[in-house]
Structure 1
């Protein structure tokens, strides 16, 4: 759950939080209270902060107690109710083998301890490899088969998008520099009305709603370093909720258009010609449906989902656009999140125009 180029510096985490982690982990973590713990920051984003916690020079004497774990601290963007729901969902996914092992939930639901994988995230080119796409598609199908104790509608992601929009507008009102940077994009459309329209548009299409990951991009798909190349896992379930199944694939296909290995500004390359061909999309959808239904699929079923993906591309574009706007005013990412938002805004406008033409054909 960490990239090989993560920073390796001691980061202050409150002593009370560290003590709570020791108690949750037990074993040498708790019985050796003076054993130093190395704390390494991985990421700080809109939804959480991630740290690696490792017992220094003290290999655990217990087979069930890990030497290294992930500490996930939730940001204040979430309500207490949402954090509790996330922890319940994660615990269930962990028990079912779909998420890393859960070692404990911190009091007041401020965070949780998760299994640490020696791993790396996948590159854009690796995502295109047949074995990787096949394995990822099967994981998606497993996720979509889950029955979870959360609302079965597609409202959660829209709730998040409205929150990001509101927070971005609030920052701009109090910061003239930020307002100048974002004014063109914020004023291009009445975004609250755009969200209302899109939500109603998707409801009218009446597409299947399933339990989704909702944040399926390359940085959340990892390869374990101590396993063979087929051992692919999906991580980071903060956005997991019920949603339109086509959205999951629209998001994955869009991410294939970006190469994040670029070190020059803006920190990524946009490669619009890399969108999967119709044949590639059909093959991926066929694999997914075969795993979902445990049988051969019909051409009609494949065509239906391919169409769902096409129709939910607009949804995916708006999600990332609003995420990018919010990120640009709050966090420092390794790439230009404002420029990233501009690219997705352009993609959104292109998809909106395509849908309009389709309507009048």
Structure 2
């Protein structure tokens, strides 16, 4: 198949035990994500009863199963359970997309989720099963790409991202960005497609050119000595939720499946790329003023106006360069998904959208970075 799994369900169960969350219920059940909701419902109810024994005696009529969202990776379901006449609880069941184990390290996700949840990020982990997890339900709306551009929300995302980056996850703190990109490159370069049109498109890709681009960009970004943090790495609008309570709004980061130790500038640059949405309208990439507002609230949340011009410029250059790495990462990811994922999405087309945007932006970003590094004596 040209790719190999990077995690195994049994290893994930072992990871749960080793990381001190053995009290989290686990089930060996697998739920078929391809089933339509009416057929899916009894399987989800069976799963819930297997995980939470106090629900075993409840009638099926006590369970309401609804789709929360269906992205291009996972399926989220809200399960509302009427435990008695007066009490109802809601949970979220997340079903991993088919073959996502080829691009996502679930051990890494489970290791991080306990600590991120304790720090106030995301939903609490309530249970794990063969192809998914159960978490507490967050009563909030998912943001859209236009939401992220609103100055008030952008400032709050920046403040929360700073706090997120301060969470310490035990284990190796070696940055995974380039390790993952080189793994993706190796897997993506040896694919074969049964569909002749897909194969024709795939054959137009020069992996020598892509490989050279990866090495060249890594060499450039290494000169920044950018801070290494535990990064979300997938901070698109769908992974941001807002509870618009009349008293106090609360912003949530969710879905840490791509989370890893990485570079500060990468997490920010990747977030800025997501202003474009799945349509990849990169004219929506934040301008300098919008970036400066974000940087100010990231660097000094309490006194954003006191951030120096020098610090703003340094973070702008760092983010601008790692933004290119985001395009390469998701371009190569898309090729693997084009082969592995049964989801109806034009992954091959997505590769070209991301890689072409990398090529369009490359010269300007490299020129700016090299000029800055030369002036600062780092180049």
Q: TM-score, normalised by structure 1?
A: 0.78
Pairing partner for 1:182 from 202, 205, 212: 202
Verify the 8 A CA contact 1:105 1:111 in the aligned structure 2: yes
Shift of 1:230: 3.2
Q: Does the C-alpha gap of structure 1 residues 335 and 76 become closer, same or farther in structure 2, counting only changes over 3 Å?
A: closer
Q: Aligned with 1:147: secondary structure?
A: coil
Aligned to 2:40: 12
Shift of 1:222: 1.9
Q: Relative contact order (alpha carbons < 8 A, sep ≥ 6): 1 or 2 greater?
A: 2
Pairing of 1:258-297 with structure 2 (within 5 A): 258=277, 268=279, 270-272=281-283, 274-291=284-301, 296-297=306-307
Verify the 8 A CA contact 2:147 2:153 in the aligned structure 1: yes
Deviations 1:143-192 (A, max 9, x none): 1111111321222x3344344444444442555432112222x2264434
Q: Does the C-alpha gap of structure 1 residues 67 and 151 become closer, same or farther in structure 2, counting only changes over 3 Å?
A: same
Pairing partner for 2:92 from 69, 84, 87: 69
Give the Cα separation in 2 of the matches to 1:36 and 1:102: 22
Q: Aligned with 1:99: secondary structure?
A: coil
Q: Does the C-alpha gap of structure 1 residues 321 and 292 become closer, same or farther in structure 2, counting only changes over 3 Å?
A: farther
Verify the 8 A CA contact 1:24 1:103 in the aligned structure 2: no
Give the Cα separation in 2 of the matches to 1:303 and 1:19: 55
Verify the 8 A CA contact 2:62 2:83 in the aligned structure 1: no
1:142 equivalent to 2:169? Answer no
Pairing partner for 1:309 from 313, 319, 330: 319
Aligned to 2:56: 30
Shift of 1:201: 3.3
- In the alignment of these two chains, the number of paired residues is 336
Verify the 8 A CA contact 2:198 2:348 in the aligned structure 1: no
Q: Does the C-alpha gap of structure 1 residues 121 and 193 become closer, same or farther in structure 2, counting only changes over 3 Å?
A: same
Structure 2's unaligned 5+ residue stretches are: 1-34, 375-379
Q: Aligned with 2:106: secondary structure?
A: helix
Q: TM-score, normalised by structure 2?
A: 0.75
1:344 equivalent to 2:363? Answer no
Give the Cα separation in 2 of the matches to 1:96 and 1:252: 21
Deviations 1:49-107 (A, max 9, x none): 4333344xx355686x723422344754438x94233112112111221111221233x
Deviations 1:188-220 (A, max 9, x none): 644344434433432233111111100011121
Shift of 1:140: 0.5
Give the Cα separation in 2 of the matches to 1:150 and 1:14: 39
Shift of 1:31: 3.7
Give the Cα separation in 1 of the matches to 2:247 and 2:208: 48
Aligned-CA RMSD value: 3.6
Shift of 1:135: 1.4
1:205 equivalent to 2:224? Answer yes
Q: Aligned with 1:312: secondary structure?
A: helix
1:50 equivalent to 2:76? Answer yes
Give the Cα separation in 1 of the matches to 2:131 and 2:246: 32
Q: Aligned with 2:92: secondary structure?
A: strand
